[in-house]
Structure 1
């Protein structure tokens, strides 16, 4: 009779919980459906491999090894104990029930108890990390819901062991310390309470366990734990292709009323899945150069606020629909049929809500981003923060015309003279002045060439960066490379304009550059700028570019390997090497620059605490080279200080933007006399020079 009543109560409670869970999950699915549809590129092999590596292999989580191990235990432990959960549930209806595994059941029991104990240890460690050690990245989001998760998982694991322990006493069995060691301890402790008391306590903890499982199940869709459902979906459906490649705007679309994203529903559905996949782990914010130097931008907080805004707006769309009773934290579930009915009557765009830009996300946050990609590299669920920020910048620039004064000047100078300073475009060739030892022909002066050296605006007009271009040209001369330049016909690459939100200007420059390349039959392009390299290699092909693209460090390393240049002269420098974001995180080139430096006699390569994938941005990306920082500490100062802690004689780089920012940093720290700032090309040229040569 007890078993029957228990079964009826179980069916009622479980049925209602499953109903709530389904309603909540389905409502989030419909909220995502508010976004714009995008074409799905199958690439099944790549997508499945990504899921295997990042979901089942937990690769990103192991960037923090302690946290990674903890999460691995929780991730796999959760699946393992679900098998035992089924057996425990049946025990509530059939006293003493065991899966028909025969003699192997004792091993199943050991696996279940061992996994439960390991999960409990992982939960205790999670509590320690968050509330005792107070790990910095977890301080960004330490709210009530985080505590609920820890309490729920603790209750979940302990209730399993108590249930099994009291079952042993209830059945009059002897504690098994070999195959049921943890529940066996509880059974031994409570062995004298009698069968009746043990039976009552068995059912008490059986219900505690069941209600915890069901409550947590309903809690999941209303909290960050929703990532347990959306993370795998997000990783599978994330856009494929080059890292950080931006979506193209179709300016030929006559139905488009605005460009960029000014409303949450104007993001793509794939972008909205990101919001519900967020784990609120704080890894992105912890590595963000803007957040780390006192700016208001927090990538995690940005995603969370957008998620809450989407949930609020999705619910508002159905405000005239019937609501189900709220459950936890005031969240409610919607009737799916009524959502569908009301969606045709009232769309997200017609609902009065706080503005996405201005109310939910501030303009200061959007213009603080350096697009370094560190947030995305750290994210364990493949969220893409940068493209959302740029989409909102596009709205401000292209639709509202609301942008910083420095950005306005930048765009005007690019439009008029194709360089950020507004210097006469006919002076683009002047970077060669003062280096009579260099031979650099233009495309009009030669019949054929192997490489087009795309000097870029920094190499052409910035006095410090001109020296990088000169050193690289000298290296090409020594190696006997057949190359030429466009000279005054060269245009700005448009990369920075695109990252600042001016997609129209980018596409105009892109088309002009490609037309130039085609006119001169360019097959190979080499550039000293990682930003130009990235946009030529990864973004221009969508607009018709057909050419091999090289960063100057790639070509230098090839020349060294081929024996066409030989770094023989000693360069006695202790070099703190700085990885640029667009060569490193965007294009995964970390080893080549280091190999070049190590091939130079007497060079000592020093690694900063944040290096390679974790390297900190110099502060120039995303147009921030041209926009004044008004909040917190300057990013370039922070990065320079990190380098100076190594007591280097030189800070090395592979990017004109980085070199400029770090050079300014050494000046601000009054260290420019003691510590040089050099590009890899300049260091290599020093090693190639004969004793009579002198680097200007």
Structure 2
């Protein structure tokens, strides 16, 4: 009779918990469906690889090795103990039940107990990191739900061992310290209680385990633990192809009245899956240059606020669904629907939802982003923060016409003179006149050329950056390379305009540039600017560009290998090398610049603590080069301080924007007399003979 009552109680609890779980999962499915359909590129090989490497392989998690190991134990332990859970459930109805594994069952028990014990150790370590070590990134979201997860999982694992331990006492069995080592200790410690007390405690801990399992099951979909369900889907459905590539807007679509994302449902479904995949681990914010220097932007907070807003609005919009229980509604929808019984359309019209841009996400947050992708590179579930920020910027710029005054001036200068300063475009090639030891022809001065040297606005007009293009021109002359520049016909690449949200201006420049390239039969492009390099290589092809695109460091290394140029003069410098975001995280080029520096006699490379894929942004990307920093510490100063810790004689870079920011940073630290700042091309030129 007792077993029957136990079974009925269990079935009632399991049925109700499963019902609630299904409703919650279905609600999130409906919320994601509110978004726009996204173009799905099949590319199954790349998608499956992403799931295997970052899902089952946990690669991104091992950027923090201690945390990575902890999560690896929890990830695989979770799957393993599900098998043991089935056996434990049956034990509650059939005394002494074991899977029919025969003599091999003892090995199953050994494996199960060690798995549970390691999971318990992992959760104790998680508690230590959050509440004793107080790891910075975990303090960003230190709330009751995080505490509940730790308590629940510790209870879950402990109750398994306690249940198995008291089962032995209930059955009158002796402890087995080899095949059941941890439950065996419990059995031995409480063996004097007797069978009756052992039976009572067995069911106490059996029910504690069952209640914890089902409570956690209902908790998961409505908390950060939802990433356990969404992460693998997110990895599979993430955008494929070049990282950071932005969506093209069709300006010929006359039905479109607003551009960018002004409402949560304007995001694609693919982007909305990101929101529920977020683990709130804080890795993104911990590495964000804006966040660590005191700006209002926190990539994690941005995702969480978008997720909560989607849940709130989704509950309102889908409230008429018979499958939608009241507890999945947001507070506004719940109070209104329960009070008045209004239909979904009436609720949607009556409930005053906060504005996505301005209320949920502030303008200060959006304009603080440098688009460096450090957040995305760190994210273990492949969330893409930057494209969401740019979509929201697009709404501000192209729909509301609302932007910082520096951005307005930038756009006007690009439109009028195709450079950020508004300098007369006819002065674009004057930099050639400052050195008589270099030969730099325009496309109109030669019959044919192999490479179009894209100088860019920085190289054309900025005095410091002109030295970079002059050095690279000298290198090309030494290597015997056939090249030409567009001269005064060169326009802006449009990359910065696109990242600042002005997609219309970007596409206009893109079409003009491609037309120009085609008119001069351009087949190969080389540039000193990683931003132009990225957009020409990864974004222009969608608009019709057919050309090979190179960064100047790629060709310098190629020519060194071919023997076209030979660094022979000793350059006695201890160089703190800075990785630019658009060459590094956007295009995965880290080793080539280092190989170039290593080939130069006398050079010693000093690696900053944050280097390669973890390198900190200089602060210029995403249009921040042209917008004054008014919050917190200047990003370029923080980066220069990291370099100065190594006591270098020179800070090296591969980007004119980075070089400008680093130079300004050394001046701010009053170190410009002690530490030089140079581009790799300038360093190589110093080492060439003649």
Secondary structure at the counterpart of residue 141 of structure 1 = coil
The total of aligned residue pairs comes to 685
User: CA separation in 1, counterparts of 2:570 and 2:185?
Assistant: 69
CA contact (8 A) 1:222 1:331 kept: no
What are the equivalent positions in structure 2 for 1:48-447 lying under 5 Å apart? Answer: 48-319=48-319, 345=345, 352-447=352-447
| CA-CA distance at 1:323 after TM superposition | 8.6
Partner in structure 2 of residue 579 of structure 1: 579
User: CA separation in 2, counterparts of 1:279 and 1:440?
Assistant: 53
Partner in structure 2 of residue 546 of structure 1: 546
What are the equivalent positions in structure 2 for 1:636-655 lying under 5 Å apart? Answer: 636-655=636-655
| CA-CA distance at 1:447 after TM superposition | 1.0
CA gap 1:488/1:351 in 2 versus in 1, 3 angstroms:
farther
User: CA separation in 2, counterparts of 1:352 and 1:48?
Assistant: 42
CA gap 1:324/1:2 in 2 versus in 1, 3 angstroms:
farther
CA contact (8 A) 1:493 1:532 kept: yes
Gaps of 5+ in 2: 335-341
| CA-CA distance at 1:37 after TM superposition | 0.5
| CA-CA distance at 1:374 after TM superposition | 0.1
Partner in structure 2 of residue 693 of structure 1: none
Q: Is 2:497 aligned against 1:502?
A: no
1:94-149 Cα deviation digits (max 9, x unpaired): 11100000011000000000000000000000000000000011110111000000
User: CA separation in 2, counterparts of 1:454 and 1:563?
Assistant: 24
Secondary structure at the counterpart of residue 192 of structure 2 = coil
CA gap 1:285/1:96 in 2 versus in 1, 3 angstroms:
same
CA contact (8 A) 2:311 2:330 kept: no
Secondary structure at the counterpart of residue 660 of structure 2 = helix
| CA-CA distance at 1:344 after TM superposition | 8.2
User: CA separation in 2, counterparts of 1:419 and 1:350?
Assistant: 48
1:165-186 Cα deviation digits (max 9, x unpaired): 1110010111000100100111
CA contact (8 A) 1:652 1:679 kept: yes
Partner in structure 2 of residue 630 of structure 1: 630
CA contact (8 A) 1:325 1:333 kept: no
| CA-CA distance at 1:317 after TM superposition | 1.5
User: CA separation in 2, counterparts of 1:72 and 1:244?
Assistant: 28
Secondary structure at the counterpart of residue 192 of structure 1 = helix
Partner in structure 2 of residue 490 of structure 1: 490
Secondary structure at the counterpart of residue 525 of structure 1 = strand
CA contact (8 A) 2:411 2:420 kept: yes
User: CA separation in 1, counterparts of 2:346 and 2:90?
Assistant: 47
Normalising by the residue count of structure 2, what TM-score does the alignment of the two structures yield? 0.97
User: CA separation in 2, counterparts of 1:583 and 1:353?
Assistant: 41
Q: Is 2:652 aligned against 1:658?
A: no
Secondary structure at the counterpart of residue 257 of structure 2 = coil
User: CA separation in 2, counterparts of 1:682 and 1:348?
Assistant: 61
Q: Which runs of 4+ in 1 moved over 2 A?
A: 318-334, 342-352
User: CA separation in 2, counterparts of 1:659 and 1:373?
Assistant: 19
User: CA separation in 2, counterparts of 1:194 and 1:154?
Assistant: 27
RMSD over aligned Cα atoms: 1.9
Secondary structure at the counterpart of residue 651 of structure 1 = strand
Secondary structure at the counterpart of residue 433 of structure 1 = helix
Partner in structure 1 of residue 679 of structure 2: 679
1:567-589 Cα deviation digits (max 9, x unpaired): 00000111100000000000000
CA contact (8 A) 1:314 1:348 kept: no
| CA-CA distance at 1:420 after TM superposition | 0.2
Gaps of 5+ in 1: 335-341, 691-696
